[in-house]
């Protein structure tokens, strides 16, 4: 190890939001922190870089949205948000529909013009399938919320390529992330606060980690030297994969991965929207982002588009999505039990907790653990 471990109160593993907020709050209280990060940059999957005056999100579209005022006020200490409201368009075999599922979608799908007409149509389709009682999987949940037409055209194909599994084998909660509303409102989220940082997300992390009491070392894999770290550091915050920490002793948790292909054009506007989803089963990518539309004030003349392709995960790839089905949830419980037994290690973040967290939830969880650690 290149560092004098005696110099630090905390070792933090991972420079994503959980680890970086913990580091900031520890330093604020005079604690000395060593933060190690496996990749060659900070900010985890929130990492953005600037290209042709445009903030490009390297790990897919990140829109900050929350109802949690404490979290919103907290993140606003480190950045200004631009007021961006996510409004996604779906392309199903050349037909365009507004998302999330709302009166515009219902009008485009069926020509219905009132909430009562839309509700009647959905009820009729739900009845025809004969779904009653609590939905057992994503397919049943989707049909009982918005009927078979929308399920078939806007959900089934997208979901099955996104997750690499049948919609009947996926948990119902995944589709409940999307609002269903009987108003003409295309806002993808229901939360009160929403936006994208004017200078990109990486600048938030530069500020979080700026203290002299925090040393950041990138390109270091904790798991390659785990036993030594555990011996040398009195307290560790670990935000990597929980199954990896325990050497996969009960087996691998499953994740879903994605890969990206970028293309830039001499144009101001290529697709007319920040995000377009391709919801059929055949198109190999799920969505295309045009980054300048997230920024609102991007320089003129160039535009950058990114296609997002879902892919199977293996240990050589980035883990993006935990697959919180029953099998994996049971496995996760075993790892969490082990983790609870390690009193000097705190597990956090999407990978440390194996949860499909949004950014604001990670911020909230980090602030909670900070309170417990320092202000109890
Ligand atoms: N989804 C869908 N069609 C869409 C967009 C989303 O069926 O056009 C489903 C899909 O199963 C996806 C889930 O809704 O995994 C949650 O979507 P969200 O946009 O929240 O996913 P994320 O942005 O986290 O990848």
pLDDT in tens, 280-294: 999 999 999 999 999
In whole angstroms, what is the distance from residue 84 CA to residue 165 CA? 32
**Quick one: which of 61, 51, 85 has its CA closest to 286?**
61
Task: Give yes or no for a contact between 140 and 185, defined as CB atoms under 8 angstroms apart.
Answer: no
How far is ligand 1, taken at its centre, from the CA of residue 22, in Å? 30
CB 282 within 8 A of CB 240: no
What separation, in Å, do the N-terminal and C-terminal C-alpha atoms of the chain show?
33
Hey, where are the domains in the chain?
10-84+194-252+322-374, 89-187
Regarding the beta carbon of 63 and ligand 1, being less than 6 Å apart is answered: no
- CA of residue 280 to ligand 1 center, whole Å: 13
Task: Out of 2.40.10.340, 3.40.50.720, 1.10.645.10, 3.40.50.10420, select the CATH number for domain 10-84+194-252+322-374.
Answer: 3.40.50.720
Sign of the CA dihedral running 69, 75, 78, 81: negative
Angle between helices 17-28 and 359-374 (to 10 degrees): 30
**Residue 43 C-alpha to ligand 1 middle, in angstroms?**
23
3 state DSSP class of 204: helix
Q: Is the CB of 255 under 6 A from ligand 1?
A: no
What residues are labeled active site? 177, 181, 256, 287, 308, 356, 358
Torsion angle (degrees, nearest 10) of CA 342, 343, 348, 352: 0
Using an 8 Å Cβ cutoff, are 196 and 295 in contact? yes
Give me the tens of pLDDT residue by residue for the chain, a chain 376 residues long.
566 777 899 999 999 999 999 999 999 999 999 999 999 999 999 999 999 999 999 999 999 999 999 999 999 999 999 999 999 999 999 999 999 999 999 999 999 999 999 999 999 999 999 887 899 999 999 999 999 999 999 999 999 999 999 999 999 999 999 999 999 999 999 999 999 999 999 999 999 999 999 999 999 999 999 999 999 999 999 999 999 999 999 999 999 999 999 999 999 999 999 999 999 999 999 999 999 999 976 677 899 999 999 999 999 999 999 998 899 999 999 999 999 999 999 999 999 999 999 999 999 999 999 999 998 7
Minimum CA distance residue for ligand 1 atom 7: 155
Q: CB within 8 A of 363, min separation 6: which ones?
A: 17, 21, 66, 68, 71, 74, 75
Tell me which of 177, 256, 278, 361 to substitute to probe ligand 1's pocket, judged by most ligand atoms within 8 Å of the beta carbon: 177
> What's the gap in Å between 95 CA and the centre of ligand 1?
18
Cβ(351) – ligand 1 distance below 6 Å: no
Mutation probe of ligand 1 site: the residue of 178, 191, 321, 362 with most atoms within 8 A of C-beta = 178
Rounded to two decimals, the pTM is: 0.96
Q: What is the DSSP string of 292-309?
A: HHHHSSPPSS-EEEEEEE
DSSP per residue, 134-185: S--SHHHHHHHHHHHHHIIIIIIHHHHHHHSS-GGGS-GGGGGGS-B-SSS-
């Amino acid at each position: 190890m290149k560092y004098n471990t005696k110099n630090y109160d905390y070792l933090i593993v991972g420079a994503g939001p959980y680890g970086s907020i913990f580091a900031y709050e520890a330093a604020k209280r005079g604690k000395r922190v060593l933060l190690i990060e496996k990749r060659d940059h900070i900010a985890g999957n929130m990492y953005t870089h600037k290209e042709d005056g445009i903030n490009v999100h390297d790990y897919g579209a990140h829109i900050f949205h929350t109802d949690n005022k404490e979290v919103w006020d907290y993140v606003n200490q480190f950045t200004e948000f631009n007021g961006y409201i996510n409004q996604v368009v779906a392309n199903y075999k050349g037909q365009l529909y507004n998302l999330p599922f709302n009166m515009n979608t219902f009008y485009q799908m069926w020509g219905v013009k009132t909430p009562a007409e839309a509700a009647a149509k959905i009820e009729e389709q739900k009845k025809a399938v004969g779904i009653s009682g609590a939905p057992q999987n994503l397919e049943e949940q989707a049909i009982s919320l918005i009927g078979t037409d929308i399920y078939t055209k806007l959900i089934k194909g997208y979901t099955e390529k996104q997750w690499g599994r049948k919609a009947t084998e996926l948990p119902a909660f995944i589709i409940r992330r999307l609002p269903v509303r009987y108003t003409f409102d295309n806002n993808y989220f229901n939360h009160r606060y929403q936006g994208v940082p004017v200078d990109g997300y990486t600048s938030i992390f530069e500020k979080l980690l700026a203290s002299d009491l925090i040393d950041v070392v990138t390109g270091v894999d904790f798991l390659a030297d785990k036993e030594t770290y555990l011996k040398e550091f009195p307290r560790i915050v670990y935000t990597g994969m929980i199954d990896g920490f325990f050497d996969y002793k009960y087996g691998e948790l499953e994740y879903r991965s994605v890969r990206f292909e970028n293309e830039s054009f001499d144009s101001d506007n290529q697709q007319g929207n920040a995000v377009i989803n391709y919801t059929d089963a055949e198109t190999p990518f799920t969505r295309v982002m045009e980054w300048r539309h997230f920024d609102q004030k991007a320089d003129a003349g160039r535009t950058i588009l990114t296609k997002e392709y879902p892919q199977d995960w293996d240990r050589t790839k980035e883990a993006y999505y935990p697959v919180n089905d029953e099998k994996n949830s049971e496995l996760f419980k075993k790892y969490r039990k082990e983790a609870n037994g390690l009193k000097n290690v705190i597990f956090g973040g999407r990978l440390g907790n194996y949860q499909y967290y949004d950014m604001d939830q990670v911020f909230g969880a980090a602030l909670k653990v900070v309170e417990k650690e320092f202000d109890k």
